[in-house]
């Protein structure tokens, strides 16, 4: 593989749920090491797109390639996802929650690690806790953590699997602005250290501009006034944020993300 070969290729992908066309003819090549931030009106298929990249969903048409090969049929450890609110086990401490990730991955039947394997897992967890700034909280239970700390735990769980492709579905949406800003720094640091490719959905356009190397705006190109599910969304703006920090497109993007057009079509805002 040459370094210019895309890590992810989306080839003419459409996704239907029964007659509801959610995504339509989506085509995209993404270079390794990109942070693609994704914005679009509520319900336009952003989470569906991430679930396809995780192999939780399959395209109805078209194909998805990872490293030039058809995407695996099932989720694999090289692709990890963090949701807006992550469910961690409340009866396990921070450290135990992380150990469980490793146990389930290494010994799926017993979900227990012993001896060298356990020591190695604990070392990895130590390193991850440090990276994520949770070393002091390792013996605490999730209920004793702030929202930002819980979200860091969720990110730590995903990072332990060392994914090449990190999928983030509005991961900071529930956090206060100050904590969000800390999380932005954390994410940039982790991204630089681990050479990951990131896809991150957000409703916050300034966050999309600040964190992304590339901004993808999902919207419908065409509408059927009698049937809002007839056509799906695709990428209508694709901005290289290294080259283009212009705000010329901002009003149009704000209008799309605000769901004004979707509202006109009688969809949820």
Question: Would you say how long the chain is, in residues?
Answer: 269
CA–CA gap between residue 116 and residue 128 (Å, rounded): 18
Residue from 22, 132, 137, 187 touching ligand ATP (CB under 6 A): that is: 22
44 interacts with ligand ATP by CB under 6 A: yes
Nearer to Mg ion, 83 or 237 (CB): 83
Q: With CB under 6 A as the rule, give the number of residues binding ligand ATP.
A: 11
Place of tokens 């090969």: 69
Residue from 33, 43, 62, 258 touching ligand ATP (CB under 6 A): that is: 43
81 interacts with ligand ATP by CB under 6 A: no
CB 174 within 8 Å of CB 154: no
Nearer to Mg ion, 40 or 80 (CB): 40
CB of 46 to Mg ion, least distance (A): 5
- How many CB atoms lie under 10 A from the CB of residue 234? 22
**Could you say which of Mg ion, ligand ATP, none residue 22 binds, taking C-beta under 5 to 8 angstroms by partner kind?**
ligand ATP
48 interacts with ligand ATP by CB under 6 A: yes
In sign, the C-alpha dihedral spanning 67, 72, 75, 77 is negative
Six-digit token pair at 93?
Answer: 């401490």
Residue from 7, 26, 45, 187 touching ligand ATP (CB under 6 A): that is: 45
257 interacts with ligand ATP by CB under 6 A: no
47 interacts with ligand ATP by CB under 6 A: yes
- Among the listed ranges 14-22, 59-67, 99-107, 131-139, the one in contact with ligand ATP (CB under 6 A) is 14-22
CA–CA gap between residue 137 and residue 129 (Å, rounded): 9
Nearer to ligand ATP, 20 or 192 (CB): 20
**Could you say which of Mg ion, ligand ATP, none residue 42 binds, taking C-beta under 5 to 8 angstroms by partner kind?**
ligand ATP
Six-digit token pair at 85?
Answer: 């609110």
Residue from 14, 42, 76, 93 touching ligand ATP (CB under 6 A): that is: 42
CB of 40 to Mg ion, least distance (A): 9
Torsion of CA 256, 258, 261, 262, to 10 degrees: 110
**Could you say which of Mg ion, ligand ATP, none residue 146 binds, taking C-beta under 5 to 8 angstroms by partner kind?**
none
Six-digit token pair at 116?
Answer: 């060298």
Q: Which helix (H) or strand (E) holds 13?
A: strand 8-17
Phi, psi of 213, deg, nearest 5: -95, -15
CA–CA gap between residue 82 and residue 134 (Å, rounded): 17
Q: Which helix (H) or strand (E) holds 171?
A: none
Phi, psi of 254, deg, nearest 5: -60, -40
236 interacts with ligand ATP by CB under 6 A: no
Binding site for ligand ATP (CB under 6 A): 17, 20, 22, 40, 42-48
């Amino acid at each position: 593989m040459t370094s210019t070969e895309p890590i992810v290729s989306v080839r003419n992908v459409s996704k239907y749920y029964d007659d509801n066309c959610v995504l339509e003819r989506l085509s995209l090549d993404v270079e390794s090491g990109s942070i693609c931030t994704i914005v679009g009106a509520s319900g336009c298929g952003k989470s569906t797109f991430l679930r396809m990249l995780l192999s939780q969903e399959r395209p109805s048409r078209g194909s998805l390639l990872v490293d030039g090969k058809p995407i695996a049929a099932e989720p694999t450890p090289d692709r990890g996802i963090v949701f807006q609110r992550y469910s961690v086990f409340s009866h396990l401490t921070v450290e135990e929650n992380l150990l469980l990730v490793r146990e389930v991955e290494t010994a799926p039947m017993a979900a227990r690690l012993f001896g060298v394997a356990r020591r190695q897992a604990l070392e990895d967890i130590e390193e991850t806790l440090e990276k994520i700034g949770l070393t002091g909280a390792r013996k605490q239970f999730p209920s004793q953590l702030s929202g930002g700390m819980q979200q860091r735990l969720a990110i730590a769980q995903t990072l332990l699997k060392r994914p090449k492709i990190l999928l983030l579905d509005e991961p900071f949406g529930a956090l206060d602005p100050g904590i969000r800003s800390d999380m932005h720094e954390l994410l940039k640091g982790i991204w630089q250290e681990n050479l990951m490719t990131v896809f991150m959905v957000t409703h916050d356009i300034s966050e999309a501009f600040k964190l992304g190397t590339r901004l993808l705006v999902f919207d419908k190109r065409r509408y059927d006034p009698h049937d809002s599910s007839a056509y799906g969304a695709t990428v209508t703006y694709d901005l290289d944020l290294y080259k283009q920090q212009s705000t010329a497109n901002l009003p149009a993007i704000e209008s799309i993300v605000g769901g004004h057009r979707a509202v006109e079509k009688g969809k949820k805002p």
